[in-house]
Amino acid sequence: MKEPALMILAAGMGSRYGGLKQVDTVGDHAESIIDFSIFDAIEAGFRDLVLIIRREHEAIFEQNLVRHIRKKVNVQYAYQNMDDIPEGFTVPAGREKPWGTTHALLACRSRNTPFAICNADDFYGRDAFQKMYEFLCTEVQENHYAMIGYPLENTLTDHGSVTRGVCKVEDGYLTGIEEIGGIRKKDGQVCYETDKADNTEKANKTEKTDKTGKADVNDETVNQYSCIPDHTMCSMNFWGFSPSIFGQCDRIFTDFLERELNANPMKCEHVIPTAVRDLIKEGSCRVKVLPSRDTWFGVTYQEDRAFVQEKIKDYKKAGRFPAKLWN
């Protein structure tokens, strides 16, 4: 088996966060979350790293991250290029939004080794990297993949709602995954906002404002919620694939452009969980779920940053990470 690589999705624009959160510092020695993920990945055994970025951000990554880690791991860049789309399609004039993580994965299509792929701005924990590295070294095969799973309740923020890939798992394998938005903690339970309000209530919701003119999005007379069972597994976009995924995603991405490009030319995008869901549905792959015992956290909103900083500080005090990560 060829040595597996780690690919990190770092080409997002961070529109909700308000900046390039992939390299925003959370450690007391200017470390970002991606630093800690790479450190954990190296400890787990990964030696090849591919950073999937926008080409215009290369200098930022080189200065803030890569120059510190080249002695520890072999680093390469892959560029998510807006123009890298199948023949016969053109990029709509004025579009700036990337095509999504399925498209980002295809930026690495020339590689021929098994690989893990995950987000730059999520803290997954060392257990996740260890389990994924072992899977890629011993179990991965053509069309036999893996996903790191987390209990949904352990992946939420106190500062707003989130979107998660909510999973169905049978006998340790993923049988379905649904992207659900508006998930939040409510009255001690994990809930998501349902679309049950009638049109009149929706109109009233858009008109109801407080004294500052800000819409009251917490109006309980309008918002209705459904609860999700405890211990439901979710995906945080940490996958393990063989190179067979590239041909499958190339086909899926082309079909997506044929369906969606004319309908939503400025904002349509395709993401890896949707690609995996469709592959499972058509019987083209099996995905083993590797539950992680670590706690996930991330910076979906600026307000999450203080919590992440405290968690990192605690880990350093406990000896999980050295005081200066790359010294």
Question: What's the residue count for the chain?
Answer: 327
For every residue of 13-27, DSSP letters joined together read: --TTTTS-GGG-B-S
What domains are defined for the chain? 5-317 (3.90.550.10)
Higher-confidence residue: 219 or 318? 318
Q: With bands split at pLDDT 50, 70 and 90, how would you rate the model's confidence at 262?
A: very high
Q: Tell me if 81 sits within 8 A of 108, measured CB to CB.
A: no
pLDDT above 90: percentage of residues in the chain: 70
Please state the separation of Cα 299 from the chain's center in Å: 12
**Whole-angstrom distance, CA of residue 5 vs CA of residue 22:** 20
pLDDT at 34 over 80: yes
What would the mean pLDDT of 247-276 be, rounded to a whole number?
97
Which pLDDT value is given to residue 13?
A: 55
> What single string gives the DSSP state of each residue in 103-158?
HHHHTTTT--S-EEEEETTEE--HHHHHHHHHHHHHT-BTTEEEEEEEEGGGG--T
pLDDT band at 204 (very low <50, low <70, confident <90, very high): very low
Task: Pull the structure tokens for residue 309.
Answer: 């900083």
The mean of the pLDDT values for the chain is 88
**pTM of the shown model:** 0.87
- The confidence band for 188, taking pLDDT boundaries of 50, 70 and 90, is confident
Whether 192 and 225 have beta carbons less than 8 Å apart is answered as yes
Handedness of CA 99, 102, 104, 110 (dihedral sign): negative
Q: Which of 131, 123, 171, 162 is nearest to 148 (CA)?
A: 131
Each residue of 60-88: pLDDT tens digit? 999 999 999 999 999 999 999 999 999 99
- For the cut 90, the answer to whether the pLDDT of residue 304 exceeds it is no
Give per-residue pLDDT as tens, 241-261: 999 999 999 999 999 999 999
User: DSSP secondary structure string, 209-262?
Assistant: B-TTS-B-TT-TTT-EEEE--TT-EEEEEEEEE-THHHHHHHHHHHHHHHHHTT
